[in-house]
Structure 1
Amino acid sequence: MTGSRVRAAKGQGALLRDRLLDIAGQLLEDGGADALTIRAVATSAGVTPPAVYLHFASKTELVHATCLRVWSSLFTELEAVSRDVSDPVTALYETCVAYIAFGLRHPAQYRLVMDGEATEASRRNEDACFRYFRDKVTACRDAGVPVESRTETARLLCASVHGAVSLLIHQERDAWPRDTARYLGRAASAAVHGALHTAHASRPSLATLARSD
């Protein structure tokens, strides 16, 4: 019958959903939010738009799912770089490097979550990121780094790493530093040393904090 939809085999629906998200993510990376449409995803997947709507009720839902899929890997990456680091200040530094690197690898998704229309993803991730950094600050305080306010210090760290990402992803790539690894290291070091150095009225010396570098 012309126009009838062939129902996916049992167990194939999840595979199609994953494929649609793969395609949506690539469209975002290649062309930004304007390139991500239901029709474009359907065409790339070789299905009809109604087949996409079976999994995502709207473009907004598709954007949310695409961004959340990427961002769900963030905390796995942060834990991977800091889990086996015994010094908490060094662990915090490695966490900041990984966060900035994540944002630069996924500029479209990062912009949509932090500055754009992926509001559901924003609500979930902003709070989770803040709590994650506050836990890292708590570990530094427990190790003897004088921290007057975990919340204020975590806010400063979040502002610093977010700024380091945003400074670049809102520019064309040819304007990015040639040595991205150096940029990551210096931005993370500035974030950690700045936040911890100003975390208490009786500030530790920079030489003390520099032991973690």
Structure 2
Amino acid sequence: MTGSRVRAAKGQGGLLRDQLLDIADHLLEDGGEDALTIRAVATSAGVTPPAVYLHFASKRELVHATCLRVWSSLFTELEAVSRGISDPVTALYETCVAYIAFGLRYPSHYRLVMDGEATEASRQNADACFRYFRDKVAACLDAGLPVESRTETARLLCAGVHGAVSLLIHQGRDAWPSDTADYAMRAASAAVHGALLTASHVSRPSMSAVMPSS
């Protein structure tokens, strides 16, 4: 999409900003961070680089605005999958599945926000994710599960789901499992079971603990 662009009408600068973010999103998804440059966005939008700088002071600001716009949809997705589920553990599990699936759907965005150079916006977003999972753990506690510390349990849970995403997005897609939906469900199950089983005490794993009784 190149060529001349009609100047935005007065008061419609937000329309161009959204257009630039749409273009940046596609560049990031298709080519990763290296493909997302001010010049590439300007060329695709049919404007000059200074027109992009009117909305984003630097490439870093553009990258994070692009990532965080996509990321803002995460909480909507998490609420959608857990809404109406009365069992808090099942709701927690479905939330974890959705979180892992989101990270695998937007690997470049996820990597830049969670593992890239930190900005205040990224820190706030990571904190919001942690508090969201801690609230889900609190619901399990309210339902009678023996959770000694909501914070520690949420920390273990976040380690599990974040690790499940990070393990794959730092590899080439040819190394990913063929069924990522099944992977997300298994990883979420492991994260929830592991966090909740150690929520009240820490026990050393052994063969007797994992072998089925005869």
Q: Which amino acid aligns with 1:38?
A: I
Q: Which residue of 1 aligns with 2:201?
A: 201
After TM superposition, the runs of 4+ consecutive aligned structure 1 residues lying more than 6 A away are none
Q: CA RMSD in A?
A: 1.6
Is 1:12 aligned to residue 12 of structure 2? yes
Is 1:152 aligned to residue 152 of structure 2? yes
Asked if the contact 1:67/1:121 (under 8 Å) is kept, the reply is: no
Q: Which residue of 2 aligns with 1:127?
A: 127
Q: Which residue of 1 aligns with 2:182?
A: 182
Q: Distance in 2 between matches of 1:7 and 1:80?
A: 39
**1:46-195 → structure 2 map (5 Å cutoff):** 46-117=46-117, 119-195=119-195
Q: Distance in 2 between matches of 1:99 and 1:76?
A: 11
Helix, strand or coil: the match of 1:72? helix
Unpaired stretches in structure 2, ≥5 consecutive residues: 204-214
Structure 1 residue 136: Cα displacement: 0.2
**1:5-44 → structure 2 map (5 Å cutoff):** 7-44=7-44
Unpaired stretches in structure 1, ≥5 consecutive residues: 204-213
Q: Deviations over 1:109-152 (max 9, x none)?
A: 11101111352332111100010000000000100111001000
Structure 1 residue 180: Cα displacement: 1.0
Asked if the contact 1:93/1:188 (under 8 Å) is kept, the reply is: yes
Count of residue correspondences: 199
Q: Which amino acid aligns with 1:172?
A: G
Q: Which amino acid aligns with 2:26?
A: Q
Change (3 A) 1:180 1:202: closer
Structure 1 residue 7: Cα displacement: 4.8
